[in-house]
Structure 1
Amino acid sequence: MSESGPTDDYRDLFEHAPCGYLTIGSDGRITKVNATLVAWTGFEADRFVGRRLHQFLNMAGRIYYETHIAPLLRMQGFFSEFALDFETAAGERLPVIANAAERRAADGELLFTALVVIKATDRRRYERQLMDSRSELQKGLATERETAELREQFIAVLGHDLRNPLAAISAGARILQRSGALQQQKELRVLDMINSTVTRMSDLIDNILDFARGRLGGGIKLNRDANRPLEPVLEQVVDELRTASPQRVIETSFEIAEPVNCDRTRIGQLVSNLIGNALTHGARDQPVRVGARTEGGEFILWVANAGEPIPAAAMEKLFEPFFRGDVRDSRQGLGLGLHIASQIAQAHGGRIDVTSTPDETRFVFTMPLTPSTST
């Protein structure tokens, strides 16, 4: 067996490399092509020599090569990992990944350009499948968004339409209570229960409507008024909750010395949700404490209760919609109360902070007395 020399080794490496290889002269015409690329394309080597590279590309590849790849090669002297499609002698498409680099003399004169192509049939097929999958995923997401929007619109309409029969029930119960037609203690207790349930259902509907508005982009709308006192609203909310939970003690301490530019109804809703949360989760043999004051240009309202501290994991999700924790009390509702309260706070340019220890859990709402120009 004869030994081959270095020249023969290099020639064999060029001809039978596991990639296509060709050289392009300074005039832009192909000067050499290896056997690998000849085998891939089905063209004889003589068919390549003297022709330009773009003549072996499909139409899209020709345009892309002339408008993007060739100018980039002239500008920086190389290009890397461009996807091209050769046309074979049989008229089939040959997907490749191409890399090229110029070779210049010491004086900067262009000698030739070396171009290597790697067959990328499987890779391009995978990329097309990936693009198709992405397209299907985007269509699915669009459909899901549309479905979610319709669902939230339905919730908004449902919450609105529930008000009318609920108002009729409440009005009927009040008429019976005022007329004196029912005198039995048991019947009066039933009416009290109806009124309490109506109030609870009304709160749930308010929360559903606010949540639906927020998800549909409307957000929490405010009707600010700094000329009317806020304290009577807070007292009214506390009185309603005392009536709804007569077995519980709610202590108040209000020192509102300055006007608060706010939506009084929304602030009443916020404090109602915070107190309702304290009644649900707090120790039943301990009072729920509610306080409010104006200080340092801010309105500060807090609600505190005794009982088990909030777990650290739950603290991170307290203001997320539909978060109910581990409690199964029937008063807990949909898990929207704290979420709506936080949205009301944000709409006023404020925030709600929470601290929870074995001695006390305290929610503190803080907002500026007057809204900033950006609010």
Structure 2
Amino acid sequence: MTNLSPTTRPHARGFTIIELLVVIAIIAVIAGLLLGGVAIVKESAKESQATTVLTNLMGNAGMYETKTTKPIGHLTDTTMKWGIGSWLMNAPGREQQKGAITAGYINDENDENPSYTYFLAKIDMDMERANLFIKPNEFLMLMGGCATMAFLLVLAMGKGLLLAIPAGILGIFLPKLYIKFSIWRRMGKAEKELAQVLDTFASCFKSGYSFSRAVQQVAEQYDDPWGTELAKVSAEMNFGSSVEESLVGLTKRIPQSDVAMFVTAVLIQRETGGNLGELLETLSKTVRERFKLMNKVKALSAQGKLSAFIIFMIPFGLASIYSAMFPEVMMNFFHHPIGWGLMTLAGGCQLVGGFVLKNIVTLEV
């Protein structure tokens, strides 16, 4: 083997570590997108479960009847009497109800691009769940702006189109990831406070409050999200919406099975009578016990999650160390097709490994 002289040995360009960090960031964001997609699918499954709980109970009680189209929030949605629009759940009939969610934008019968309209409607619902006052068209403009800024920023760093184009593509998803994170954080807080909210409702009903007065009283005692969402329910009832329609809107903005059970209890009690205060106290105890079990499972799986995170980050740490110690060797990965192929293969393996580890350490309660 011929030894390379110092003059013929490849030299390292500047920003070697920066280039490596950019590649690591791209792989990490792609992994986040894929794992986030899995989380979104699981969240959709939870929405389906919440909706199924409500509709099945209403159907068993003989109270599930199609009702006229009523405006709820920003959208016009076909509601059910003491039920919920089937467009929220992954169940048979969702395609037939797709026109309902889009009716607030254009007439679905004459819609030349129903997928785009449905996409706008989903963005609008996400804005409501995140409690952000952004119109769908403005959100699309924000996505385009983030993509353009990421593309131009990478070009300004002198990295070329090879990295600028992926950066622009990733920039498109940044606003969507922020919205999903906001929804996740807000729904998590709503889930934690639900038992206390149910206790407050029970106290109000035992004190002789009417339902509308109890909703207003509870809304004044809590911050976002329950204060905000119950204030919306109170405002809808004050402006002429029925209790059923207002509570249907609540289950859409907070799509959780426990909230669906709360709505079911209220609506059945309004039809059949009974002590709603005691019923909500029992439901509150059930929610607390389930939440304790969920926290216990999280504590038991924390060590496994930490181990999975460390295993996932080891290749990136080794790559950073080798880049600092042997920049000439690491530069071959950036300046040779085989190097890019190896990094692509390694990144794909990392994504698959991260997905597998995520499913191993994630336990549903």
TM-score range, shorter-chain basis? Answer: under 0.3
Q: TM-score, normalised by structure 2?
A: 0.24
- Structure having the higher helix fraction is 2
Specify which structure has the bigger relative contact order, considering alpha-carbon pairs within 8 angstroms and separated by 6 or more residues.
2
- Structure having the higher strand fraction is 1
Q: TM-score, normalised by structure 1?
A: 0.24
